[in-house]
C-alpha cells in the first residue's frame, strides 16, 4: 500500500480548479425558479424601542413584495430553547424581529423582499422607523468595573471557567526576586471572510425546505431552522458544499438564515438573503478584552506566581465567554496561580468565536509578559521558556498525549537564526531601519467531536464516504478523501467524499480545529468495519481464494483483497458486490473521542513563532520582514493544505498585531470603519517571507488518526512575537493591539 | 441605489448642457468613487451622464511651450506609466502609483481623481451628523475618532482631509486645471482648485455644477532630477495617507536652487506654503534645512485627540523626503520610507 498511500503527501485541493475557475457554487449562487431577494434593514440607533414603522413609500416601489418586521412577522416560538443552536452561549438567544426592542446598533429590524436584489436594497432605504432612544454603554474601557463571572451553560464544556487559585499568589508574588505587572488591551475584530453571509431557501412545499447556506455546520443550522419554525427535521435540508471562509463566523446560524427561511415560509416562495460588506459588521465579532498580568520568578527565572485577569465584553443578552486565562498554567509550572475571567455586558451584539478565540488574546499578553521578565532577568527569552518548560500539564498534573514544543522552539530558532540576536533593544540596524527579533509560544486545544460516517463500496468497486461535515476552505474535502483512500487501499480517484449536506450522517460544526481529527478518526473506524464486512463477503463467495484467510492474512489494495503471502489469491471489490446480488456493501459507524482513556491526559497543540521586524528609525513605520513558525500538531495529513492553514493564520497574526480593529465610536455607540478600505487587514505588501516547520509528533493516544488539527495554532504565537520584536527593535512596549506605528514616535 | 436615467454625452458641450440644466444630474468617467458614494446613498443622481464617449481629452501631449497636457479622461494608470510622465514628471508617476490599487487606477480618470470625496468615516454614514454630507448637522469627527483627520486648515465645521495622492504631486508641480462650463473655459491654478472647509465644508472644490474638467496642464519644470513621494499609512498598500509628502528639488551642487513641497493627509486640500520653499532656496540640501522648511509648513497645525501625532510625523516625513529626493533612484514601491 505504501507505493500509493496519499496521507502525508502534499496533494493539491481536489476542488481547486472549480474554485479558481468560478465553477464552484456558493450559497448566494444557487438558482431557484422565481427567486425573491431579501435585504436586511438594520437599526440606526444603539438602544431603545421602535415606536412606528412606515412602509408606504417602500411598498409603492414596483417589484417590492413584502416588508417583514416585528409588527407583521409570523407567530414564532417564545421559548429561548427553540432558537438555541449547538454553539449558543448561556443567556437569552437573540430572536430576529421578535419585538420592538433595540439592543445594539445595526440590529436587524426588518427584511424587505423584492423581485430583485437592487430593488430590495433601494426600497429598504425608503422604510421609515421612529425610535425612542435610551442611554447606552458600549465602551469596555469605561465599564471594566461591571466585570462579573460568566454564566455557565453548555458552551462551558468547551470553554471551562478559570480553575481555582493554587498556593498563595499575593504572598508568593510579593516575596519573589523578579516580578512584573502589565496591562493589555485588544480592539474589536469583525469577521470578514471573502464570501459574504448568504442563504438561498428553496420552498419545496408541504413544509419542506432545501437551504443553501454559508455555515460551518449543516446539521446545526438544520436543527435551528426546524426548531425555530416548528418544522420536522427530515423536511429541512441544509447544503453548503463550498464555503468561502468562516473562521468561526459560521459556527452559529446568522440572522440572514432566519429571515430568509421566515420569508420563504410566509410567501411560499424561493427566497435569497445576502448580507453586504457593511452588514458583516452587524453581528458576532472578536470581543474587546482587557487583561492585567502579574508574573514573578525566582532569581534563576523559574516562575513562582502568575496572576492573569481578563475582562471581556459581551452583550446584554448572552454571556459569550472565551478561554483566556486558562493557558499560562497549561504551559508554565508555577506553585501560585490566580486566574480570573470576567464579562462586562455592553449594548453590543454578542461576540462570536474568531480563529483561536481567547487563545490568541491570552497568549499575546502571556508571552509579552514572558519577554518582559526575560529582560528583567537578563536572560534570553527562549532560555526563559526552556527554563520553565514542562513535560506535563502543570495545571492538572496530567501527561500530554504528546508535546513536542521543545522541538518547535529549537527547530524554529535554528531556522530563524535566533542565535545572531543581540538582546540589547535598538542595537541591530539595517540602513534606516531598526531590526528587531521576537519570539513567542503558542498553545491551543486538540478537540475531537463525535462524527458518523457512512462508507459504501459500489458495484464498480469504488468507495463513497458520506458525512454532513463542511469544508470551510481548509481542505477537508481533499484531506478526508486521502484518509479514506488510504484506509481502503484505493487510489484517490476511486474515492468520492460527499459532504456539506445535513442529510448525510452526523457531524458537529467545523470549528475549534477539531474536524481533521474528528472526521479522519471516524473514517478510519468506518473503513475498518467496511474491510471486515468486505472480507467476510469475499470469503463467502464460492471457491473464494480467501476462504481460509483471517484479517491479518490479507491486504486491501487497488480495489481488491489479496493474501499477503500469495498476492495472486485475490478477490476484487466488484466481485464482492456482484456476489452481494449487486447491492453495494455499506457500513455506518460512529467515531467518538476516547473520553475514558483520555481522561488521564491533556490534549494540546503547540507552536513557536520567531519574527523579524524592521522599524524605520525616524518615521517608525513597521514591517514584518520574515517569520518562522514551528507547529506540533500530531500527524500532518497533507503538508500542503496544512501549511496553507499555518501561513494563513500567520498573516492573521500580522493583522492582529498591526492592522485589524473595528473602531467603536463610544458617543454614537456604533462601529464606524465598516468597510474593507478602512477596516485594515494585511495586503500583499505587508506579508513577506513566511516559513513553516511541522514538528515530528507521533501521537498514538489521541485518536485513531493521530491528528490534532492545525486551523488555529498558527495564529496564537504571532501577535506576541511581533510585539516582542517591536520592543527589541525600539525599546518600546506597546500593549494595545493593533500597534499603531505612530505610538513609537 | 435609486433608479436613474443614463445618457452618453457626445461631446463636452453636450455633457455641459445635460448636467447644467438638471440639478439632480451627475457626470461619470471612471466611477471609482461615485459608485461607492451612490451605494452609501451620499449621492443619488437621477440622471447619469457618461463622458467616456467624448472624443477629446483622451491623450497626454507635449505642448510647444514645454508644458504637458494630461487629458481628463486618461486613466490614472495610463498616466503613471506614460513615457512622458515617467521621464519628465516622475514625481507624479510615483504619487499616482502610491494610491488605491492597480484595479482602481486602471479605471479612475485624471479628472475624477481631483474630485474624490473625503474618506472620513462619519461622512460615509448617513445616520450620523456630518456637515460635509448634511450641512448644519454637526461634525462627529471633532470629538470622535479623528486619527485620519486634518491638523491644518480645518474649521469648527469640518476636519476632513482630501484623500488623493495624485493631487499632492499636482500641487507640488504647480499644475493648472482646465475646465469647460456654461460660462466658457477656465484655467484654475491647482492651489485654487480645492477649498478649505471653512463654513461650507460641503463644497470640496471650486468646480461648478455642470462644469467639466477637460485637462490638466503640467508646467515645463518637472523636478525629474531630484524628487520623492513619501506616503505613511497603516498598511503598505491600499490605505489612505496619514501623512504624505511630495518633494521636488533643483540643485546646484548641494545647494537648493528651487524647491517644492506639498503635503497630503493633513488638510482639506494638498498643503503648500510658499515661504517654506523660499526658505530652502540657497540652502544646503540637508536635514537641517528641511527641518526649517517643515517648521514653516506645520505652522498653525492643531491636533485633535487621536491625531496629534501627525504634527511630529509630518515634520519627520518632510525631512526624510527631502533626503530621499537626493537619491530618487533608491525609491521603493508604494512610496515607502527609504531602506
The verdict on a CB contact (< 8 Å) between B41 and A659 is no
Q: What are phi and psi of A430, to 5 degrees?
A: -150, 100
Residues of chain A neighbouring B316 (CB-CB closer than 8 A): 618-619, 745
For A664, the grid coordinates are: 467603536
Interatomic CA distance for residues B178 and B263, integer angstroms: 23
Min Cα separation B316/chain A (Å): 7
Identify whether B280 is part of a domain.
Answer: yes
Q: Are A9 and A636 in contact (CB under 8 A)?
A: no
* Helix and strand numbers, DSSP H then E, in chain B: 12, 11
Q: Looking at the structure, do residues A568 and A638 belong to the same domain, yes or no?
A: no
Mean pLDDT for the stretch of residues A390-419: 98
Identify whether A19 is part of a domain.
Answer: no
Identify whether A13 is part of a domain.
Answer: no
Identify whether B99 is part of a domain.
Answer: no
Identify whether B118 is part of a domain.
Answer: no
Nearest residue of chain A to residue B233 (CA atoms): A621
Min Cα separation B312/chain A (Å): 8
Identify from A277, A620, A621 which residue to disrupt to test chain B contact, counting B C-beta atoms within 10 A and taking the largest count: A621
For A558, the grid coordinates are: 487497488
Q: What confidence score (pLDDT) does residue A2 get?
A: 44
Min Cα separation A206/chain B (Å): 37
pLDDT tens sequence across A112-152:
999 999 999 999 999 999 999 999 999 999 999 999 999 99
Domain that holds residue A372: 143-189+286-447+599-744
Min Cα separation A125/chain B (Å): 9
Q: Are A699 and A405 in contact (CB under 8 A)?
A: no
Mean pLDDT for the stretch of residues A401-425: 98
For residue B318, pLDDT over 70 is answered with yes
Residue A238: CATH number of its domain: 3.90.1170.50
Report residue B67 CA to chain centroid gap: 20
Where is average pLDDT lowest: A85-94, A366-375, A691-700?
Answer: A85-94
Q: Which pairing describes strands A208-213 and A198-205: parallel, antiparallel, or unpaired?
A: antiparallel
Identify whether A525 is part of a domain.
Answer: yes
Identify whether A63 is part of a domain.
Answer: yes
Task: Tell whether A623 is within 8 A of chain B (Cβ).
Answer: yes
Q: What confidence score (pLDDT) does residue A614 get?
A: 98
Specify the residue for cell string 432566519.
Answer: A258
Min Cα separation B18/chain A (Å): 25
Task: Count how many residues are written for chain A.
Answer: 745
pTM over 0.95: yes
Identify whether A585 is part of a domain.
Answer: yes
Q: Which pairing describes strands B226-232 and B243-252: parallel, antiparallel, or unpaired?
A: antiparallel
Mean pLDDT for the stretch of residues A28-35: 97
Identify from B235, B287, B307 which residue to disrupt to test chain A contact, counting A C-beta atoms within 10 A and taking the largest count: B235
3-class DSSP state of A570: strand
Specify the residue for cell string 464617449.
Answer: B53
**Pick from B41, B119, B140: which is nearest to A668 by CB?**
B140
The verdict on a CB contact (< 8 Å) between B121 and A121 is no
Interatomic CA distance for residues B143 and B141, integer angstroms: 5
Min Cα separation B17/chain A (Å): 29
pLDDT tens sequence across B7-59:
999 999 999 999 999 999 999 999 999 999 999 899 999 999 999 999 999 99
Interatomic CA distance for residues A241 and A433, integer angstroms: 47
List CB contacts of B21: < 8 A, sequence separation 6 or more.
B210
**What secondary structure letter does DSSP report for A120?**
H
Nearest residue of chain B to residue A621 (CA atoms): B232
Interatomic CA distance for residues A451 and A592, integer angstroms: 7
Interatomic CA distance for residues A18 and A24, integer angstroms: 5
Residues 394-453 of A with CB under 8 A from B: 430-433
Which has the closest alpha carbon to A379: A635, A602, A177?
A177
Q: Looking at the structure, do residues A540 and A610 belong to the same domain, yes or no?
A: no
List CB contacts of B159: < 8 A, sequence separation 6 or more.
B139, B141, B142, B146, B149, B150, B197, B304
Nearest residue of chain B to residue A667 (CA atoms): B144
Which has the closest alpha carbon to A46: A152, A166, A134?
A134
Burial class (CB in 10 A: 0-12, 13-18, 19+), B220: exposed
Residues 82-121 of B with CB under 8 A from A: 119, 121
**Pick from A621, A670, A743: which is nearest to B337 by CB?**
A621
Q: Are A451 and A524 in contact (CB under 8 A)?
A: no
Residue B19: CATH number of its domain: 3.30.43.10
Q: Looking at the structure, do residues A172 and A200 belong to the same domain, yes or no?
A: no
Task: Tell whether A590 is within 8 A of chain B (Cβ).
Answer: no
Residue A644: CATH number of its domain: 3.30.365.10
Q: What confidence score (pLDDT) does residue A3 get?
A: 59
Q: Looking at the structure, do residues A465 and A442 belong to the same domain, yes or no?
A: no
Residues of chain A neighbouring B41 (CB-CB closer than 8 A): 125
For residue A650, pLDDT over 50 is answered with yes
Residues of chain A neighbouring B234 (CB-CB closer than 8 A): 658-659, 680, 740-741
Is residue A712 annotated as part of the catalytic site, yes or no? Answer: yes
Which has the closest alpha carbon to B171: B118, B122, B105, B113?
B113
Which has the closest alpha carbon to A722: A422, A412, A364?
A364
Specify the residue for cell string 458576532.
Answer: A284
Q: Looking at the structure, do residues A126 and A237 belong to the same domain, yes or no?
A: yes
The last residue of one of the domains, among A243, A276, A309, is A276
**Pick from A122, A432, A686: which is nearest to B337 by CB?**
A432
Interatomic CA distance for residues A408 and A646, integer angstroms: 14
Residues of chain B neighbouring A655 (CB-CB closer than 8 A): none
Q: Are A226 and A502 in contact (CB under 8 A)?
A: no
Q: Looking at the structure, do residues A398 and A410 belong to the same domain, yes or no?
A: yes
Nearest residue of chain A to residue B126 (CA atoms): A44
A215 band by pLDDT with thresholds 50, 70 and 90: very high
Identify whether A427 is part of a domain.
Answer: yes
Tell me how far CA of residue B133 lies from CA of A124, A528, B120, B158, B160, in angstroms.
21, 67, 11, 10, 11
Domain tally, chain B: 2
The verdict on a CB contact (< 8 Å) between B320 and A658 is no
Residues of chain B neighbouring A743 (CB-CB closer than 8 A): 309
**What secondary structure letter does DSSP report for A3?**
G
Q: Would you put residue A682 in left (φ > 0), alpha (ψ -120 to 50) or beta?
A: beta
Specify the residue for cell string 463525535.
Answer: A450
Q: Are A199 and A263 in contact (CB under 8 A)?
A: no
Residues of chain B neighbouring A672 (CB-CB closer than 8 A): 121-122, 125, 144-145
- In this structure, how many other beta carbons lie within 10 angstroms of the beta carbon of residue A174? 11
The verdict on a CB contact (< 8 Å) between B1 and A658 is no
Q: Looking at the structure, do residues A131 and A150 belong to the same domain, yes or no?
A: no
Nearest residue of chain B to residue A742 (CA atoms): B309
Task: Tell whether A659 is within 8 A of chain B (Cβ).
Answer: yes
Can you list the alpha helix ranges (DSSP code H) found in A635-686? 639-658
Q: Looking at the structure, do residues A292 and A183 belong to the same domain, yes or no?
A: yes
Peptide bond into A619 cis (omega under 30): no
Q: Are B46 and B2 in contact (CB under 8 A)?
A: yes
**Pick from A431, A668, A686: which is nearest to B235 by CB?**
A686
Interatomic CA distance for residues B114 and A264, integer angstroms: 47
The verdict on a CB contact (< 8 Å) between B235 and A682 is yes
Residues of chain A neighbouring B338 (CB-CB closer than 8 A): 431-432
Task: Tell whether A656 is within 8 A of chain B (Cβ).
Answer: no
The last residue of one of the domains, among A592, A615, A631, is A592
Q: Give the HSE-up count for residue A532: Cα atoms under 13 Å, Cβ half-sphere.
A: 9
- In this structure, how many other beta carbons lie within 10 angstroms of the beta carbon of residue A98? 14
Q: Which pairing describes strands B212-218 and B176-181: parallel, antiparallel, or unpaired?
A: antiparallel
DSSP string for residues in A45-102: SSSEEEEEEE-HHHHTSTTEEEEEETTTPPP----GGGG--TTPPSB----TTSSSEE
Identify whether A8 is part of a domain.
Answer: no
Q: Are A560 and A572 in contact (CB under 8 A)?
A: yes
Nearest residue of chain A to residue B244 (CA atoms): A619
Q: Looking at the structure, do residues A368 and A517 belong to the same domain, yes or no?
A: no
The last residue of one of the domains, among A592, A614, A642, is A592
Identify whether B38 is part of a domain.
Answer: yes
List the beta strands (DSSP E) in A570-716: 570-572, 585-591, 601-602, 604-616, 622-632, 664-665, 670-671, 689-694
pLDDT tens sequence across B121-149:
999 999 999 999 999 999 999 999 999 99
Can you list the alpha helix ranges (DSSP code H) found in chain B? 12-20, 34-39, 76-80, 83-88, 90-97, 102-107, 110-114, 166-172, 190-193, 274-280, 287-297, 309-325
3-class DSSP state of A227: helix
Residues 259-298 of B with CB under 8 A from A: none
Task: Tell whether B235 is within 8 A of chain A (Cβ).
Answer: yes
Nearest residue of chain A to residue B230 (CA atoms): A619
Q: Looking at the structure, do residues A496 and A644 belong to the same domain, yes or no?
A: no
**Pick from A432, A684, A745: which is nearest to B313 by CB?**
A745
Domain tally, chain A: 3
For A425, the grid coordinates are: 533593544
Q: Are A518 and A453 in contact (CB under 8 A)?
A: no
Report residue A342 CA to chain centroid gap: 22
Interatomic CA distance for residues B197 and B132, integer angstroms: 8
Three state DSSP letters for B90-112: HHHHHHHHCCCCHHHHHHCEHHH
The verdict on a CB contact (< 8 Å) between A122 and B1 is yes
For residue A1, pLDDT over 70 is answered with no
List CB contacts of A21: < 8 A, sequence separation 6 or more.
none
Identify from A127, A672, A679 which residue to disrupt to test chain B contact, counting B C-beta atoms within 10 A and taking the largest count: A672
Q: Looking at the structure, do residues A244 and A113 belong to the same domain, yes or no?
A: yes
Domain that holds residue B253: 226-329
Interatomic CA distance for residues B223 and B93, integer angstroms: 12
Nearest residue of chain B to residue A688 (CA atoms): B236
For A195, the grid coordinates are: 464570501
3-class DSSP state of A605: strand
Specify the residue for cell string 488510504.
Answer: A486
**Pick from A431, A684, A742: which is nearest to B309 by CB?**
A742
Nearest residue of chain A to residue B2 (CA atoms): A122
Residue B274: CATH number of its domain: 3.30.390.50
- In this structure, how many other beta carbons lie within 10 angstroms of the beta carbon of residue A82? 16
Mean pLDDT for the stretch of residues A85-99: 93
For B210, the grid coordinates are: 455642470
Report residue A466 CA to chain centroid gap: 23
Identify whether B134 is part of a domain.
Answer: no
Task: Tell whether B338 is within 8 A of chain A (Cβ).
Answer: yes
Interatomic CA distance for residues A709 and A706, integer angstroms: 10
pLDDT tens sequence across B223-246:
999 999 999 999 999 999 999 999
Task: Count how many residues are written for chain B.
Answer: 339
Task: Tell whether A736 is within 8 A of chain B (Cβ).
Answer: no
3-class DSSP state of B310: helix
**Pick from B144, B237, B240: which is nearest to A683 by CB?**
B237
Q: Are B98 and B231 in contact (CB under 8 A)?
A: yes
From A266, A404, A712, A743, the catalytic residue: A712
Min Cα separation A653/chain B (Å): 14
Interatomic CA distance for residues A443 and A363, integer angstroms: 8
Identify whether B204 is part of a domain.
Answer: no
3-class DSSP state of B187: strand
Q: Looking at the structure, do residues A443 and A457 belong to the same domain, yes or no?
A: no
Identify whether A18 is part of a domain.
Answer: no
Identify whether B151 is part of a domain.
Answer: no
Angle between helices A359-377 and A639-658 (to 10 degrees): 70
Amino acid at each position: 500500500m505504501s507505493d500509493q498511500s496519499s496521507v502525508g503527501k502534499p496533494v493539491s485541493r481536489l476542488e481547486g480548479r472549480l474554485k479558481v475557475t468560478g465553477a464552484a457554487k456558493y450559497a448566494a449562487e444557487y438558482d431557484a425558479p422565481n427567486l425573491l431577494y431579501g435585504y436586511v434593514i438594520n437599526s440606526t440607533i444603539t438602544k431603545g424601542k421602535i415606536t412606528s414603522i412606515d412602509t408606504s413609500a417602500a411598498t409603492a416601489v414596483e417589484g417590492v413584495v413584502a416588508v417583514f418586521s416585528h409588527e407583521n412577522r409570523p407567530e414564532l416560538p417564545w421559548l429561548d430553547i427553540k432558537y438555541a443552536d449547538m454553539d449558543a452561549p448561556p443567556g437569552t438567544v437573540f430572536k430576529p424581529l421578535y419585538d420592538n426592542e433595540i439592543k445594539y446598533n445595526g440590529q436587524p429590524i426588518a427584511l424587505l423582499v423584492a423581485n430583485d436584489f437592487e430593488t430590495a436594497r433601494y426600497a429598504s432605504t425608503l422604510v421609515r422607523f421612529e425610535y425612542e432612544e435610551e442611554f447606552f454603554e458600549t465602551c469596555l474601557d469605561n465599564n471594566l468595573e461591571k466585570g462579573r463571572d460568566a454564566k455557565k451553560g453548555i458552551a462551558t464544556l468547551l470553554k471551562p471557567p478559570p480553575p481555582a487559585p493554587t498556593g498563595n499568589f499575593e504572598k508568593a508574588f510579593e516575596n519573589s526576586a523578579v516580578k512584573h505587572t502589565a496591562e493589555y488591551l485588544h480592539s474589536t475584530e469583525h469577521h470578514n471572510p471573502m464570501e459574504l453571509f448568504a442563504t438561498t431557501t428553496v420552498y419545496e412545499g408541504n413544509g419542506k425546505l432545501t437551504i443553501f447556506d454559508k455555515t460551518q455546520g449543516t446539521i446545526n443550522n438544520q436543527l435551528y431552522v426546524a426548531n425555530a419554525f416548528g418544522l420536522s427535521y427530515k423536511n429541512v435540508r441544509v447544503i453548503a458544499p463550498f464555503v468561502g471562509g468562516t473562521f468561526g463566523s459560521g459556527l452559529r446560524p446568522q440572522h440572514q438564515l432566519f429571515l430568509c427561511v421566515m420569508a420563504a415560509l410566509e410567501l411560499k416562495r424561493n427566497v435569497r438573503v445576502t448580507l453586504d460588506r457593511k452588514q458583516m459588521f452587524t453581528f458576532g465579532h472578536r470581543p474587546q478584552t482587557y487583561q492585567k498580568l502579574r508574573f514573578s520568578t525566582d532569581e534563576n527565572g523559574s516562575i513562582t506566581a502568575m496572576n492573569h485577569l481578563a475582562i471581556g465584553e459581551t452583550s446584554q443578552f448572552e454571556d459569550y465567554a472565551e478561554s483566556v486565562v486558562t493557558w499560562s498554567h497549561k504551559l508554565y509550572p508555577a506553585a501560585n496561580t490566580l486566574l480570573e475571567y470576567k464579562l462586562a455586558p455592553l449594548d453590543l451584539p454578542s461576540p462570536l468565536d474568531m480563529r483561536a478565540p481567547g487563545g490568541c488574546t491570552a497568549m499575546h499578553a502571556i508571552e509579552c509578559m514572558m519577554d518582559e521578565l526575560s529582560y528583567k532577568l537578563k536572560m534570553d527569552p527562549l532560555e526563559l521558556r526552556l527554563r520553565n518548560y514542562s513535560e506535563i500539564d502543570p495545571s492538572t498534573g496530567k501527561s500530554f498525549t504528546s508535546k513536542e514544543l521543545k522541538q518547535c522552539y529549537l527547530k524554529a530558532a535554528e531556522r530563524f537564526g535566533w542565535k545572531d540576536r543581540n538582546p540589547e533593544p535598538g542595537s541591530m540596524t539595517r540602513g534606516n531601519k531598526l531590526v528587531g527579533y521576537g519570539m513567542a509560544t503558542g498553545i491551543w486545544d486538540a478537540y475531537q467531536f463525535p462524527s458518523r460516517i457512512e462508507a459504501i463500496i459500489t458495484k464498480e468497486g469504488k468507495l463513497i464516504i458520506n458525512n454532513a461535515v463542511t469544508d470551510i476552505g481548509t481542505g477537508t474535502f481533499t484531506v478526508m478523501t486521502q484518509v479514506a483512500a488510504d484506509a481502503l487501499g484505493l487510489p484517490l480517484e476511486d474515492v468520492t467524499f460527499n459532504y456539506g449536506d445535513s442529510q448525510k450522517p452526523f457531524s458537529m460544526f467545523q470549528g475549534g480545529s477539531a474536524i481533521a481529527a474528528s472526521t479522519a478518526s471516524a473514517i478510519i473506524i468506518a473503513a475498518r468495519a467496511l474491510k471486515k464486512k468486505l472480507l467476510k463477503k469475499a470469503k463467502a463467495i464460492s471457491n473464494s481464494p480467501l476462504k481460509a484467510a483471517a484479517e491479518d492474512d490479507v491486504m486491501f489494495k487497488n480495489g481488491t483483497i489479496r493474501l499477503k503471502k500469495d498476492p495472486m489469491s485475490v478477490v476484487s471489490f466488484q466481485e464482492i458486490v456482484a456476489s452481494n446480488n449487486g447491492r453495494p456493501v455499506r457500513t455506518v459507524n460512529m467515531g467518538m473521542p476516547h473520553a475514558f482513556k483520555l481522561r488521564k491526559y491533556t490534549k494540546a497543540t503547540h507552536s513557536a513563532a520567531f519574527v523579524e521586524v524592521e522599524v524605520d528609525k525616524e518615521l517608525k513605520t513597521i514591517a514584518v520582514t520574515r517569520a518562522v513558525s514551528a507547529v506540533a500538531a500530531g500527524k500532518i495529513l497533507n503538508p500542503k493544505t496544512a501549511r496553507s492553514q499555518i501561513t494563513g493564520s500567520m498573516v492573521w497574526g500580522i493583522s492582529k498585531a498591526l492592522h485589524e480593529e473595528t473602531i467603536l465610536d463610544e458617543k454614537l455607540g456604533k462601529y464606524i470603519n465598516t468597510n474593507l478600505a478602512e477596516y485594515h487587514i494585511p495586503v500583499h505588501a505587508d506579508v513577506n517571507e513566511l516559513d513553516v516547520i511541522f514538528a515530528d509528533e507521533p501521537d498514538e493516544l489521541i485518536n485513531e488518526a493521530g491528528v490534532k488539527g492545525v486551523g488555529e495554532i498558527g495564529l496564537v504565537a504571532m501577535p506576541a512575537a511581533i510585539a516582542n520584536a517591536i520592543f527589541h527593535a525600539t525599546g518600546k512596549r506597546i500593549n494595545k493591539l493593533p500597534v499603531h506605528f505612530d505610538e513609537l514616535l | 441605489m435609486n433608479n436613474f436615467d443614463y445618457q452618453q454625452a457626445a461631446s463636452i458641450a453636450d455633457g455641459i448642457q445635460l448636467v447644467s440644466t438638471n440639478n439632480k444630474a451627475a457626470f461619470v468617467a471612471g466611477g471609482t468613487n461615485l459608485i461607492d458614494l451612490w451605494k452609501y446613498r451620499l449621492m443619488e443622481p437621477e440622471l447619469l451622464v457618461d463622458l467616456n464617449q467624448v472624443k477629446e481629452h483622451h491623450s497626454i501631449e507635449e505642448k510647444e511651450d514645454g508644458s504637458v497636457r494630461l487629458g481628463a479622461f486618461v486613466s490614472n494608470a495610463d498616466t503613471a506609466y506614460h513615457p512622458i510622465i515617467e521621464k519628465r514628471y516622475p514625481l507624479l508617476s510615483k504619487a499616482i502609483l502610491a494610491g488605491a490599487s492597480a484595479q482602481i487606477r486602471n479605471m479612475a480618470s485624471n479628472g475624477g481623481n481631483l474630485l474624490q470625496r473625503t474618506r472620513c468615516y462619519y461622512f460615509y454614514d448617513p445616520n450620523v451628523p456630518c456637515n460635509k454630507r448634511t450641512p448644519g448637522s454637526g461634525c462627529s469627527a471633532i470629538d470622535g475618532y479623528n486619527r485620519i483627520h486634518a491638523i491644518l486648515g480645518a474649521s469648527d465645521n469640518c476636519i476632513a482631509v482630501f484623500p488623493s495622492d495624485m493631487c499632492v504631486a499636482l500641487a507640488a508641480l504647480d499644475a493648472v486645471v482646465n475646465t469647460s462650463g456654461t460660462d466658457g473655459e477656465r484655467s484654475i491654478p491647482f492651489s485654487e482648485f480645492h477649498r478649505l472647509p471653512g463654513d461650507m465644508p460641503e463644497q470640496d472644490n471650486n468646480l461648478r455644477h455642470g462644469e467639466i474638467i477637460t485637462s490638466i496642464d503640467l508646467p515645463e519644470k518637472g523636478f525629474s532630477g531630484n524628487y520623492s513621494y513619501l506616503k505613511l499609512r497603516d498598511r503598505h498598500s491600499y490605505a489612505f495617507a496619514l501623512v504624505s509628502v511630495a518633494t521636488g528639488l533643483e540643485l546646484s551642487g548641494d545647494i537648493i536652487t528651487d524647491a517644492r513641497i506639498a503635503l497630503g493627509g493633513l488638510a482639506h486640500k494638498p498643503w503648500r506654503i510658499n515661504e517654506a520653499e523660499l526658505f530652502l532656496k540657497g540652502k544646503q540640501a540637508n536635514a537641517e534645512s528641511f527641518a526649517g522648511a517643515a517648521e514653516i509648513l506645520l505652522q498653525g497645525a492643531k491636533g485633535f485627540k487621536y491625531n496629534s501625532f501627525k504634527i511630529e510625523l509630518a515634520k519627520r516625513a518632510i525631512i526624510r523626503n527631502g533626503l530621499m529626493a537626493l537619491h530618487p533612484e533608491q525609491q521603493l514601491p508604494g512610496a515607502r520610507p527609504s531602506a
